[in-house]
Amino acid sequence: MIKIKSLIKVAIAVAVAAALWLPSLPSSAQDSAAIPVLVGIVDVQKVIASSAAGQSLQKQAEQRRSQIQNDLVAKEKQLRAESDQLNAQRAQLAPADFQKQALALQEKLKAWRQEGEQKRKGFEKSYNDAQKTIFQTLQKVIGEIAVQRKLTLVLNKSVVIVSAQAWDITDSALAQLNKVLPSVKM
């Protein structure tokens, strides 16, 4: 999952820094910099999970996981069959021939494990890239909503304990994200 916790920590750090910095300004600077605080709250995780793009990503991920798993299981069955066949022929083979074939089988097993690891890494990269696309698009959408509603602060609902329902822009963010990014390719 995108580093939402990191984003939350950054938002909190900025808010704390702003709170610490503003009181240190001269009173004339505080007066001229007095900006009304208009707050928006977004349930980022809900929007990402509920969005058309988020759901299409989950569907693609499930399909790809299943395909990778099926491919690896099929190859594993093939390698097990080769191993069983080799063990059954052990008595009829010369020790050097058996050793040669056993080493060849071990190389196939090693290649199978490496292939599985490469597929796993490729899957994770594709998934993370698609999630990043959704998240970046959501950030733009939230920025546009903030400008339209003249919000000066937008927080992730996960860091808010209590808020006014009127501040919640989650549904607007979801609707706008669905318009802007109806799907994402993994």
Domain count, the chain: 1
Its pTM stands at 0.72
Asked, for residue 185, whether it belongs to a domain, the answer is no
CB contact at 8 A, 40 and 153: yes
Q: Is residue 16 part of a domain?
A: yes
Is 186 part of a structural domain of the chain?
A: no
Asked whether residue 109 is assigned to any structural domain, the reply reads: yes
Q: Give me the tens of pLDDT residue by residue for the chain, a chain 186 residues long.
A: 445 555 555 555 545 444 444 444 455 445 546 788 899 999 999 999 999 999 999 999 999 999 999 999 999 999 999 999 999 998 899 999 999 999 999 999 999 999 999 999 999 999 999 999 999 999 999 999 999 999 999 999 999 999 999 999 999 999 999 999 999 999
Report how far residue 179's alpha carbon sits from residue 173's, in angstroms, rounded to the nearest whole number. 10
Is there a domain that residue 86 lies in? yes
Question: Which residue range(s) make up the domain with 137?
Answer: 4-180
In a domain, 134, yes or no: yes
* pLDDT at position 35: 80
**Structure confidence at residue 25 (pLDDT):** 44
